[in-house]
Structure 1
């Protein structure tokens, strides 16, 4: 009888483990693709203002707000990716290798980059709770206060 109970117990534990793993996978991956019309008005205005000749290729709403505040992740037909908060404020704009449109980067930061890194392009900007991060085309990251004052640079 003991020989019979050990395999049954092992098999039961194995099945329970597999079931619990598959449920975890389903719950953790419940971000949903939505229509662009479902974005907050300010997010749609941002896209039409800075990317007027592009279309949405994918709009995703996260199942919960990420630590950086991102709720919506938007991919555009020109290769740009933009993350928005639940209110529709942009948090991150990533041009991959393309230069950011004028006006996204605060003027004081744009002026600093033009004066000190004239041969490089700004290809990404990320707003965080206490600073901006600017990605340059050579892989260098520049950090600024929210008031636009230069803090430091880091190699990516």
Structure 2
């Protein structure tokens, strides 16, 4: 195979993989998992949804729900929240694990959580004063984010 053929093949593969990977589309709120719909109805009652985007990546699917006020929730394919970003308002306290809530109340009185992010390793939260904290999945404080 000549160098030109190798370069052409590489360029073709890159083009196809980027087209495949960017398979995002706007969908109706009713197209997200029922569990996610319930969370929105219960904890963001009255909030107007600006749009819902479905991210269909190679190995996973997720949904971003963006509200008119700029708040955003990301859900996984099962309807579990992955990230809640409330920018200038409070994350609904019922969605924050109890040990994390208690730690924030005891160690950082007068503050509230504006963002919480959960992955398969830990929780990361941001307080309204800009402080970022990391907790284990069991809610044990691990430290401050760099």
- Normalising TM by the smaller chain, what interval? 0.7 to 0.9
> What's the counterpart of residue 152 of structure 1?
143
> What's the counterpart of residue 40 of structure 1?
33
Partner secondary structure for residue 93 of structure 1:
strand
Gaps spanning 5+ residues in structure 1: where? Answer: 1-12
> What's the counterpart of residue 125 of structure 1?
116
Superposed counterparts of 1:1-156, under 5 Å: 20=12, 26-64=19-57, 71-155=62-146
Gaps spanning 5+ residues in structure 2: where? Answer: none
Deviation for aligned residue 1:124 = 0.6
Partner secondary structure for residue 125 of structure 1:
strand
Distance (Å, rounded) in 2 between the aligned partners of 1:79 and 1:141: 20
Distance (Å, rounded) in 2 between the aligned partners of 1:89 and 1:74: 13
- TM-score, normalization by structure 2: 0.83
Two-structure CA RMSD over aligned residues (Å): 2.6
Higher Cα radius of gyration: 1
Number of aligned residue pairs: 143
